[in-house]
Amino acid sequence: MAIAYISHRDCLLHDTADGHPECARRITVIEDRFIATGLSDILRHFDAPLATDSQLLRVHTQGHLDGLASLAPKTGYERVDPDTIICADSLTAAKRAAGAVIAGVDLVISGEMEAAFCGVRPPGHHAESRRAMGFCLYNNIAVGAAHALAAHGLHRVAIIDFDVHHGNGTEEIFKDDDRVLFCSTFQHPFYPFTALLEPADNRVNTPLQAGAGSDEFRTAVTEQWLPALQRFQPEMIFVSAGFDAHRDDDMSNVSLTDGDFQWVTEQIVAAAADSASGRIVSALEGGYELNSLARCVETHVRVLMGVH
């Protein structure tokens, strides 16, 4: 299948200072792995455009955009919160990250590409409508989903989030929007420590206890996500693809394997084939242990491509 890889060199310019886990190497190890394994030759590469203010404003407030713009330093670093650091180029990187998901939507809905993976940073799923947090500035996947609804007239989209942290921003943005089904597995209680909303027809939160592994994860997906997707019949599926639940990643106490990320991607591909004509746009969220990150992203993309 023709799969788009969408990124931009500007995403490497988001400098979070020495020792920060959300670093530019996360993207370069993925791209190096694509080259080393030959995958790079069969992906179609696209440069991410900058998301426009009007595209960001579908999910964020003007106050959020203005606040980040006024905080961005001309030199050095500024803190958005204790974990979230920005430099002079960070908002450009963040607009590329959100723009990548927009471009993925356009490519997939036009039929030019069958699916897209956005290898971008900063990540997005903690960013709420009016605040940046947890390494995230703009909510990339939410910006893309809103674009599919507003610019392409889709009626139902699903967002699948298997990052080990709860996608609180995505949940907050779409909590009252029946056109968006949000399914999230995450360690709980854990960062971001926001209160979970009550279950709803458009929301499937599946918390995992510290120490959970493959069995608990696969059971949650099988018993809770897949029936919800079957009921909802999304016309397109978005993936907040975080790989920090990997057992080699010390960001969490959930212990998934390479095989679990392959398996969950296979489930998503099957669900997309069922109701969404195979349309998937996936974007990188977390994943901080560079070896497992590169391996699992390669596997994820191979499954999207149908060549694993």
Interacting residues toward Zn ion by CB under 5 A:
163, 165, 242, 244, 286
Paired sense of beta strands 3-7 and 115-118, if any: parallel
Nearest distance from C-beta of residue 69 to Zn ion, angstroms: 26
Q: Please, which residue, 39 or 283, has the CB nearer to Zn ion?
A: 283
Q: Please, which residue, 49 or 213, has the CB nearer to Zn ion?
A: 213
Nearest distance from C-beta of residue 16 to Zn ion, angstroms: 15
Using DSSP, state whether 136 is helix, strand or coil: strand
Nearest distance from C-beta of residue 123 to Zn ion, angstroms: 7
User: Which tokens belong to 169?
Assistant: 């921003």
Nearest distance from C-beta of residue 227 to Zn ion, angstroms: 25
Query: Is 165 within 8 Å of 126 (Cβ atoms)?
Result: yes
Using DSSP, state whether 2 is helix, strand or coil: coil
Question: Is it true that the peptide bond before 192 is cis, omega within 30 degrees of 0?
Answer: yes
For the four alpha carbons of 165, 170, 173 and 175, in that order, the dihedral sign comes to negative
Q: Please, which residue, 156 or 165, has the CB nearer to Zn ion?
A: 165
Indicate the DSSP class of residue 299.
H
Nearest distance from C-beta of residue 79 to Zn ion, angstroms: 19
Q: Please, which residue, 234 or 286, has the CB nearer to Zn ion?
A: 286
**Active-site residue (options: 14, 64, 126, 188):** 126
Nearest distance from C-beta of residue 164 to Zn ion, angstroms: 5
Structural element, H or E, at residue 115: strand 115-118
Distance in angstroms (rounded) separating the CA atoms of residues 82 and 228: 36
Of 234, 240, 235, 260, whose CA–CA distance to 248 is shortest? 260
Q: Which letter, b or e, does each residue of 161-187 get, where b requires 16 or more Cβ atoms within 10 Å of its Cβ? A: bbbbbbbbbbbbbbeeeebbbbbbbbb
Q: Please, which residue, 124 or 286, has the CB nearer to Zn ion?
A: 286
Would you call 126 a catalytic residue per the annotation?
yes
CB closest to Zn ion, residue no: 286
User: Which tokens belong to 33?
Assistant: 């792995």
Q: Which residues contact 42 (CB under 8 A, 6 or more apart)?
A: 305, 307
Distance of CA 47 to the CA centre of its chain: 17
Q: Please, which residue, 104 or 286, has the CB nearer to Zn ion?
A: 286
Residues annotated as catalytic (active site), given as ranges? 126
